[in-house]
Structure 1
């Protein structure tokens, strides 16, 4: 009888320890979501991607409806991180937002404050600007929107999830 009680107690303790130390209970849910997205090369706001020429960060994104057309405006910072001391031309980068649910793409238009600096960014310099994406038929669900940057000089294999887009 004593051995049965010992075995039962030992089994209970081991089961409790295994449940308490399982991966799902030790890692918070939000942290788990972020790590899963990073595994897929998906970045969130304020996270950066670095290549040989650029270091790009998406700071935020806003959505609004103007004249029955949807408009996403993203704020982006790009640094020149070249080692050869050459300037970079940010006008060669193509920006688009893709609805991952439908596959529809919307091309973006950069809106730099200083056009001359936009085409001639010195080494070590960072330029922050906005990109506007106009959507003639905006989707009803904005939870699947991702920003891509396409560069022939320095291709980035990452993209940013545009969170918290709410129509205003």
Structure 2
């Protein structure tokens, strides 16, 4: 019985010392500043920034405005603006677009019209498909296939921001892409 009480006492002392040492390590870490909670103002600022960005994105999408790299899917096409840039002579804007046939049958792209609009002055420019063989009016896209198109717009001077529209009589969409931060392809 005496051995049992000594063993229990030693066990209790060991557990107490271990717990005390562990608590000391936590306290010293807090004192040294290695464990640091973000301040409530930093949390609030971060939360406000995220909320602002989310609200801005939601507002933009409600207006039907997409950014370069974003896609829209209709009943016939899945359309994505991949990139936009100034050509080498800075007198044309080139928009790279991918058009995927999401319909179960072959479709032609001849009915698509491409427009670039300067939102500040209201001027619009008609686009022409570049480097396409066969001609853009003869392109037939098989189901689930994607075609990459380069659309050129001759502009007299470049603005800070444009809106790019794809008009389709078969698949009308109320969506357009914001084209900004244009650079020449070398940059």
Task: Give the TM bin, normalised by the shorter chain.
Answer: 0.7 to 0.9
Q: How does 1:34-113 map to 2 (within 5 A)?
A: 34-64=57-87, 66=89, 70-82=91-103, 85-113=104-132
Please list every run of 5 or more consecutive structure 1 residues that lacks an aligned counterpart in the other structure. 1-16
Q: CA deviation at 1:30?
A: 4.6
Name which of 156, 165, 168 aligns with 2:182.
Answer: 165
Q: CA deviation at 1:32?
A: 4.2
What is the CA–CA distance in structure 2 between the aligned matches of 1:102 and 1:24, rounded to whole Å?
37
What is the CA–CA distance in structure 2 between the aligned matches of 1:28 and 1:64, rounded to whole Å?
37
1:131-154 residue CA offsets vs partner (Å, 9 max, x unmatched): 01012x224xx2220100011111
What is the CA–CA distance in structure 2 between the aligned matches of 1:24 and 1:63, rounded to whole Å?
37
Write out the 4+ residue segments of structure 1 that deviate beyond 6 Å after TM superposition.
Answer: none
SS at match of 2:180: coil
What is the CA–CA distance in structure 2 between the aligned matches of 1:64 and 1:32, rounded to whole Å?
34
Instruction: Provide the TM-score with structure 2 as the length reference.
Output: 0.67
Q: CA deviation at 1:94?
A: 0.4
Q: Does 1:153 align with 2:153?
A: no
Q: Does 1:25 align with 2:40?
A: no
Q: CA deviation at 1:89?
A: 0.9
What is the CA–CA distance in structure 2 between the aligned matches of 1:40 and 1:124, rounded to whole Å?
28
Q: CA deviation at 1:115?
A: 1.6
SS at match of 2:110: helix
Instruction: Provide the TM-score with structure 1 as the length reference.
Output: 0.74
Bigger radius of gyration, 1 or 2?
2
CA 1:63–1:86 in 2, change beyond 3 Å: closer, same or farther? same
Q: Does 1:121 align with 2:141?
A: yes
